[in-house]
């Protein structure tokens, strides 16, 4: 169960990563928190401990493989194993392709697809343990592309492909490493703040005001995936607001 797990969370300083850390802390989980904003990590560490969990943190830019590897090493030095690695960091600066917001494209590709770095950092330890779980936070945009979402959807389709290939590799290796993708719809997080196109942002904000659910709902889904008995895995969960159509 969760209280016996060593859980690493990237993108832990806000949104779904932060909500998951707080929920798992209530079960006494031992957490390793990775994000770029140290002040937010310090606050979250304190909150986790007040809720009954244990936590350490490492400043981590998920686009820097050395920093992601250092987070894995911090986990091993502190707790001696990695049971769950949650890749939660991501951005969503959607815009029309014709706008050629190249910096936004590059940032999405670097942050969202480099889920790979977390997988690569965790797998050697999980293979040695012959146990573990990789949880990748994707999006319904990894299943359905809409106008303005071309690059964002492409990165989330990539997360789906990476995760399925990883699942098959782990099953073939018979090493008891589970792979789970959590694909949320509209969730109240800081993702909207990454949208740089004012018109697109206004439309998305209106949609989110109408439909978005709390990040706590995604955190609960992640906890349920972790708590499933080790001989079975939720390979993918899509979680939308009840009234969201697309």
What residues act catalytically?
152
| Alpha carbon distance 217, 222 (integer Å) | 9
| Alpha carbon distance 135, 62 (integer Å) | 15
Contact indicator for 217, 244 with CB cutoff of 8 Å: no
Q: Which parts of 91-200 are beta strand (E)?
A: 132-137, 177-184, 187-188
Cα-Cα end-to-end distance for the chain? 34
How many C-beta atoms lie closer than 10 Å to residue 91's C-beta? Answer: 18
| Alpha carbon distance 163, 203 (integer Å) | 31
| Alpha carbon distance 146, 153 (integer Å) | 8
Which two tokens mark 165?
């290939």
| Alpha carbon distance 236, 74 (integer Å) | 28
- Find the angle CA(123)-CA(129)-CA(134) to the nearest 5 degrees: 40
């Amino acid at each position: 169960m969760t209280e016996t797990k060593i859980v690493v969370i990237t993108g832990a300083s806000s949104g779904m990563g932060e909500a998951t850390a707080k929920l798992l802390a209530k079960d006494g989980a031992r957490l390793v928190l990775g994000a770029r904003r140290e002040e937010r990590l310090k606050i979250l560490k304190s909150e986790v401990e007040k809720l009954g969990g244990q936590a350490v943190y490492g400043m981590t830019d998920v686009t820097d493989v050395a920093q992601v590897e250092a987070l894995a090493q911090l986990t091993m030095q502190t707790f001696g194993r990695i049971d769950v690695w949650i890749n939660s960091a991501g951005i969503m600066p959607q815009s029309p392709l014709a706008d050629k917001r190249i910096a936004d494209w590059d940032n999405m590709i670097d942050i969202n697809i480099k889920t790979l770095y977390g997988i690569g950092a965790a797998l050697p330890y999980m293979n040695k343990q012959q146990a573990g779980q990789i949880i990748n936070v994707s999006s319904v945009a990894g299943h359905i592309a809409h106008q303005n979402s071309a690059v964002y959807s492409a990165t989330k389709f990539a997360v789906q492909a990476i995760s399925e290939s990883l699942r098959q590799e782990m099953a073939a290796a018979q090493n008891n490493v589970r792979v789970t993708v959590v694909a949320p719809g509209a969730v109240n997080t800081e993702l909207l703040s990454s949208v740089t196109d004012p018109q697109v942002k206004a439309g998305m904000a209106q949609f989110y005001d109408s439909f978005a659910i709390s990040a706590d709902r995604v955190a609960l889904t992640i906890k349920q995936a972790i708590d499933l008995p080790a001989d079975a895995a939720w390979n993918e969960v899509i979680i939308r607001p009840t009234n969201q159509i697309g």
